[in-house]
Structure formats: C-alpha cells, structure tokens
C-alpha cells in the first residue's frame, strides 16, 4: 500500500471511529434524557403517573371542555402496615394497589399515585361513569387479599369523587372536592362518597392540590 493510500485509509478510519463514538455518546445522552423525563413524571414505587403528570392530564381534559371526573382514594390503616411489617411490605402494598387500579379500563383515562398511600383516577365521562369508576376502584382493592413480601393483607380504601360538566372550574377545585369527599368517607366509615357542596365540607382538604 502506498504511503498516500495508507494515509487516506488511516484518516477515514479515524473519522469513522470518531463518528461511531459521537453516535454512542449521543445515544447515551438521549437515553439519559428519556429516563430523566420518565422519572420526573412517574412514581418510583408503582410506575404510575405521579402528581405532576396527573395534573397535566387533568388540565388537558378540562381544556377539552368535556365531562370529566376525579376519584381520590387512600388506604385505611396504611401507617399500621409500615409500622408493623416494615417499609418493604408497605411498598409492595402500594405497588399491588397501583397494578389493580391500572387494570380499570375505559372510561378511566389515567390512574396515578399522588403521594403516600393516596391514588387518583381521571375519568373521561359523565357523573355515572365517575361513580362507577369510584366503586370499581374500591372493589378491585378490597375484593381479594394482597400479597406482600412477608404475608398477605386484606386492604380497604376510602374513596371520594367529584364530577365536572360545562361549568368553569380548575384542577385545584376538583381535587379539593374529591379530597373532601374522600375524608368524609373515612370519617363516616363509608366506602365511597360523592362530593356534595351542601354536605361535604372542604376545610379538611389540603393546599397541596395545585
């Protein structure tokens, strides 16, 4: 091979190697960005959408100006599970609850974990659809014992829901209403409660709903 040809081959080889390295670095950066975006919008324990992503979906649903419902629920005696069986069991329980909620089909658009043992459903439908989703959520959690790392647990939930149709509202207002209904269910010992302005006080609802 002539010196000139050898120089050309060497140069081309160096360029190709550089392009391959640059491509690999770009792929890794894209993968890291995708992972970071996923982590920012999904719950690490259940893999469900987190509060941020749920609010994004809820805002989009309200912008469509179509009937929409919000269902909130939390697990009764969840703190006792953590205190007596440990956080691994608690995380197992949250994961299994998330899986069960994620099986609820249309008209439930999104199942999310908001924080702690609190979960939410976004319902694309009318008042009856929202009520059905709320009762279904209670049933799928309570129907069968849930297996955790060191045993099985019978779990119950307190469920509250509200519905929006054609009147101006906000994400915070809907979450506040569903939150109030959920705590009314917890206080009264009921399984599921619908928000009613004449009956359901909102003072218990928390400012975390933004």
Q: Give pLDDT tens digits for 143-190.
A: 899 988 878 899 999 999 999 987 778 999 999 999 999 999 999 988
Q: Supply 194's token pair.
A: 């619908």
CB 30 within 8 A of CB 90: no
Is 117 known to be catalytic?
yes
Within a domain: 88:
yes
Model pTM? 0.80
Do 36 and 58 belong together in one domain? no
Do 132 and 161 belong together in one domain? yes
Domain range enclosing 33: 1-41
Do 64 and 25 belong together in one domain? no
> What share of the chain has pLDDT > 90, as a percent?
58
Catalytic residue among 95, 117, 129, 179: 117
Do 36 and 55 belong together in one domain? no
- Rounded to whole angstroms, the Cα distance separating 203 from 1 reads 86
Q: Supply 132's token pair.
A: 């059905």
- Look at the block and give the residue holding tokens 């149709």: 165
Distances (CA, A) of 141 to 30, 43, 184: 38, 19, 19
- For the stretch 191-209, what's the b/e string if a residue is b when 16 or more beta carbons lie within 10 angstroms of its beta carbon? bbbbbeeeebeeeebeeeb
- The total of structural domains in the chain comes to 2
């Amino acid at each position: 091979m002539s010196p000139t040809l050898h120089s050309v081959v060497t140069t081309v080889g160096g360029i190709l190697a550089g392009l391959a390295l640059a491509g690999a670095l770009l792929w890794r950066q894209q993968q890291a960005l995708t992972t970071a975006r996923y982590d920012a919008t999904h719950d690490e324990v259940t893999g469900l959408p987190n509060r941020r992503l749920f609010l994004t979906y809820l805002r989009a649903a309200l912008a469509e100006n179509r009937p929409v419902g919000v269902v909130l629920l939390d697990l009764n005696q969840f703190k006792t599970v953590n205190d007596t069986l440990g956080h691994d069991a608690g995380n197992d329980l949250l994961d299994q609850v998330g899986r069960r909620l994620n099986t609820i089909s249309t008209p439930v658009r999104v199942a999310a974990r908001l924080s702690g043992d609190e979960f939410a459903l976004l319902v694309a439908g009318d008042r009856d659809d929202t009520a059905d989703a709320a009762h279904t959520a209670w049933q799928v959690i309570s129907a069968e014992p849930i297996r955790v790392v060191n045993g099985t647990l019978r779990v119950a939930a307190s469920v509250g829901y509200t519905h929006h149709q054609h009147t101006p509202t906000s994400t915070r207002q809907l979450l506040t209403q569903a939150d109030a209904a959920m705590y009314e269910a917890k206080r009264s010992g009921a399984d599921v409660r619908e928000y009613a302005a004449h009956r359901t006080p909102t003072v218990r609802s928390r400012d975390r709903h933004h």
